[in-house]
Chain A
Amino acid sequence: MSLISCQGISKIYKMGEVEIKALNNVSVEISKSQSISFIGPSGSGKTTMLNLFGVLDKPTSGTLKVIGTDISKLNYVERAKFRGEHLGFIFQNFNLIPVLTVYENVEYPLIMVKSIPPKERKEKVLSLLDAVGMLDQKDKLINQISGGQKQRVAIARSLTTDPKIVLADEPTANLDHESAYKVMSLMKRLSREIGTTFIFSTHDPKIVKEVDITYTIEDGVLVNREERNN
């Protein structure tokens, strides 16, 4: 079964009287344990694609099933629940909670989204922090760590709920070359170890080189699919 199946989806935004077609009749099948990237120029529709796969938005037309669920049938609260159960997110600007420590940020989804006994929760958070190499920084506040470290914390946070899919919107855009390389390597390793599917939207050729499949989008239309054996 496909993890994500979209058939002829379109997304139209209305800006006053003007209609903007962000996606136009896109069909994609994504299988488990793949790493996928969507590349394309700014405004091509790759972030819209990720938003739809992340159940943050609904398509205007077409069918989109994420882990077998037709997301257009879910209401606001059901979509939130669905995201909490099945999806993880990594944001370009990290979007970590500044008042919490590194440990607490990673723990956050396990408190607010999934209820897990404290002992199990602690083990899970510590093992993820270890996996991303941030265990020794666990008591620091977010403003006390570097951009690369923030993104590693964000990766750990995205994985705490054991999501089947992690969606990363431009995850290396705000990082320097070395940090970006480390973050990509980390995600690739975790993808293999945990079996989670990573889907990226990016401009970054480093990411493109590391993923299994790359889709190119231009003006809301998929124009190319490239598969790699990494």
Chain B
Amino acid sequence: MNNIIKIAFRNLYRQKRRSFLTMGIVAFGVLAVLLFSATAGSFKNFMISEITDSMLGHIQIHAKGYVSSLDNLPLDKTIKAKQIKEMEKILDEIPEIESYTYRILLGGMVSNYLESTSAKFSAIIPAKETKVAPLLEERLLKGEFLKKGEILLPEMITKGFDSKIGDDIVLVATNADGSVNGQPLKISGIMESVVGPTGKYGYIHFDDAKSILRMNETEISEVAIRLKNFNDLEKVNSILNEKLAAIKNKKDQPFFEIHTWEKLSPFYNIAKMIDMMSMFIKIILIGIVLVSIMNVMIMAVYERTKEIGAISAMGTLPSKIRLMFLFEGLFLGVFGSVIGVVASLIAIFIVNISNITVAFGRNSNILLQPEVSFSQIVMTALIVILVAIVAVLEPAFKASKLEPIEALRQN
């Protein structure tokens, strides 16, 4: 076997330029795949983290039918105190959950006494909210985070109102019974808007929302959950679906509906598109490797037909001739992959130290920090090597089936 490997290696070396060119093409393909996956992955992870950590949380629980009418922020589809208690029991028993918080979502009218505008608000319990959405505070452009009697207004409203931190405004809202109530609140901070379903919401304190909406008992619009490990998303989702299904509404149907961030954020489709683009790039890589290696090996068989005839005449078994060509293709794949992986790691390092930023939506400062996992490297290299072997199969079989007389006759 060692000798077949040695001969295969030397056969590649005899056409140095061609072999290096082929390896270069393979390496370029590997570089393209790994660099794109690492960069797009970095962007995707950044955006997912932005969305989950600055507003959504990883999983949300609502009363059945709430999400489909989310645009109206209905106050008659809330989770009542009784269901909250039952749900709390279940949530506290799931070890994968790091923390959870309650929110009341409401629509209302804000006025600075000179002009008014409609806006949507998320009423939060600040201490709990920052555990579920740790990046929420980072969205604060000016001022301080929320306390009771205060309001965090989205940047666009404060610009329109020409409001400053410390200014008073009035929030007026209609409660579930249809009665209208208002409450003066002090602007404690200005929030940066982000992409996502509640990215342009203002924030008020949970107790203030209860007071404005005249809730005697606690009612909530949603529960936001943060997991200890993001990768447990599907596992916890299915546990919640199973356990919460036991809590029924008056129609004897499950009271709750559970959504992961993917179902709530339109960015999930972009994330999926990024994954699809990565896959397309991989398919292109497969094509490059397949065509380049197959082309080189077909040429090699053609050029060495007489030589194959001679070794075949001497009694070399077809299996050994096949193996020799398979090794040649394998080496092209392996060396091309190794060069590609090294080039990718260097390129990723360069991108990381270059502090390249990109803009997405209102976020103009997304720092690209590409990183590639060991499993991604291994997977890409394995794909290339496997495709290289597939590419060389046809020429290898052709070489091993050559009739020695015919082969020796070739000029």
A91 an interface residue at 8 Å Cβ cutoff? yes
Given contacts A76-B318, A77-B318, A84-B316, whether A99 and B311 have CB atoms under 8 Å apart is no
Residue from B309, B312, B316 having most chain A Cβ neighbours under 10 A: B316
B29 within 8 A of A: no
Asked whether, in the complex, the Cβ of B314 is within 8 Å of the Cβ of A113, the reply is yes
Given contacts A51-B405, A95-B306, A95-B307, contact A109 B314 (CB under 8 A): yes
* B408, A77: Cβ atoms closer than 8 Å: no
**Size class of the B contact interface (CB-based, 8 Å):** 20 to 34
Bitwise, B278-308 to A at CB < 8 A (1) or not (0) is 0000000000000000000000000000110
Contact of A100 among B7, B309, B312, B313 (CB under 8 A): B7
Contact check, B7 vs A97: say whether CB atoms are below 8 A apart. yes
Q: For the complex, is B11 an interface residue (Cβ under 8 Å from A)? A: yes
A111 within 8 A of B: yes
| Contacts known (A99-B10, A99-B11, A99-B14); A89 close to B4, Cβ less than 8 A | no
Q: Is B404's CB within 8 Å of the partner chain A?
A: yes
Residue of B nearest to A114 (CB): B315
Given A85-B315, A87-B315, A98-B14, answer yes or no on A112-B3 (Cβ-Cβ < 8 Å).
yes
> Is A181 close to B, CB under 8 A?
no
List of B residues within 8 angstroms of A87 by Cβ? 315
Known: A91-B408, A109-B314. A100 touches B306 (CB 8 A): no
Q: Which residues of chain A from 74 to 88 have any CB-CB distance to chain B below 8 Å in the complex?
A: 76-77, 80-85, 87-88
B46 CB-CB contact with A under 8 Å? no
What bracket does the count of chain A residues touching chain B fall in? Answer: 20 to 34
> Within 8 Å CB of B386, what residues of A?
none
Question: Are A112 and B320 in contact, with the CB atoms below 8 A?
Answer: yes
Residues of A within 8 A of B306 (CB): 93, 95
- Report if A161 contacts B (CB, 8 A): yes
Partner of A112, one of B309, B316, B408: B316
Alpha-carbon distance between A112 and B306 when the two chains are bound, in angstroms: 17
Also in contact, A97 and B316, with CB within 8 A (given A56-B404, A91-B408): no
CA distance A19 to B317 in the complex (A): 31
Contacts of A80 in B (CB 8 A): 312, 315-318
B349: interface (CB < 8 Å): no
Does B360 count as interface, using CB distance less than 8 angstroms? no
CB neighbours (8 Å) of A99 from chain B are: 7, 10-11, 13-14
Digitize A111-135: 1 where CB-to-B-CB distance is under 8 Å, 0 elsewhere: 1110000000000000000000000
A112 contacts B318, CB within 8 Å?
Answer: no
Q: Contact mask A41-62 → B, CB, 8 Å, 1/0?
A: 0000000000100101100000
Minimum Cβ distance to chain A for residue B13 (Å): 7
Cβ–Cβ contact B3 & A111, under 8 A? yes
Q: What sequence of 0s and 1s flags, for each residue 376-411 of chain B, a beta carbon within 8 Å of any chain A beta carbon?
A: 000000000000000000000000010111001000
CB distance from B328 to the nearest CB of A (A): 11
Q: With the chains together, A204 CA to B315 CA distance in Å?
A: 28
Query: Residue-by-residue, is B309-336 near A (CB-CB < 8 Å gives 1, otherwise 0)?
Result: 1111111111010000000000000000
Could you say which residues of chain A place their CB within 8 Å of the CB of B10? 99-100
Q: Which residues of B contact A84 (CB under 8 A)?
A: 314-317
Known contacts A51-B405, A112-B4; is-contact A97 B313 (Cβ 8 Å): no
Return A13 CB to nearest CB of chain B, in Å.
11
CA separation between A120 and B361, bound complex, in Å?
Answer: 75
Measured between C-beta atoms, what is the minimum distance from A67 to chain B in Å? 14
Give the shortest distance, in Å, between B314 (CB) and chain A (any CB). 5
Which residue from B313, B320, B401 sits with its C-beta under 8 Å from A89?
B313
Q: For B405, what are the chain A residues with a Cβ–Cβ distance below 8 Å?
A: 51, 56-57
- A76: chain B residues at CB < 8 Å are 318, 401
State the Cβ distance, B311 to closest chain A Cβ, in Å.
7
The CA of A56 and the CA of B312, in the complex, are separated in Å by 9
CA distance A93 to B307 in the complex (A): 10
CA distance A51 to B313 in the complex (A): 10
How many Å from the CB of B298 to the closest CB on chain A? Answer: 19
In the assembly, what is the distance between CA of A112 and CA of B8, in Å? 13
Assembled-state Cα–Cα distance A223/B51 (Å) = 95
Most buried by B among A82, A97, A157: A97
Q: Which residues of B contact A81 (CB under 8 A)?
A: 315, 317
Min distance, Cβ A200 to any Cβ of chain B, angstroms: 16
The reply to whether A77 and B315 contact each other, CB–CB distance below 8 Å, is no
> Which 5 A-B residue pairs are closest in the complex by CB-CB distance?
A84-B315, A95-B310, A99-B10, A83-B315, A111-B3
Q: List 29 A-B contacts (CB under 8 A).
A: A56-B313, A80-B315, A80-B317, A80-B318, A81-B317, A82-B315, A83-B313, A84-B314, A84-B315, A89-B313, A91-B310, A91-B408, A93-B306, A95-B310, A97-B307, A97-B311, A98-B307, A99-B13, A99-B14, A100-B7, A100-B10, A108-B314, A112-B3, A112-B311, A112-B317, A112-B320, A113-B314, A113-B315, A113-B317
- Chain B residues in the interface with A (C-beta under 8 A): 3-4, 7, 10-11, 13-14, 306-307, 309-318, 320, 401, 403-405, 408
* Contacts from A to B (Cβ < 8 Å): 51, 54, 56-57, 76-77, 80-85, 87-89, 91, 93, 95, 97-100, 108-109, 111-113, 157, 161
For the A-B complex with A76-B401, A95-B408, A109-B314 known, give 16 more contacts whose Cβ atoms are closer than 8 Å. A56-B403, A56-B405, A81-B317, A84-B315, A91-B310, A91-B408, A97-B7, A97-B310, A97-B311, A99-B10, A100-B7, A109-B315, A109-B316, A111-B3, A113-B315, A113-B317
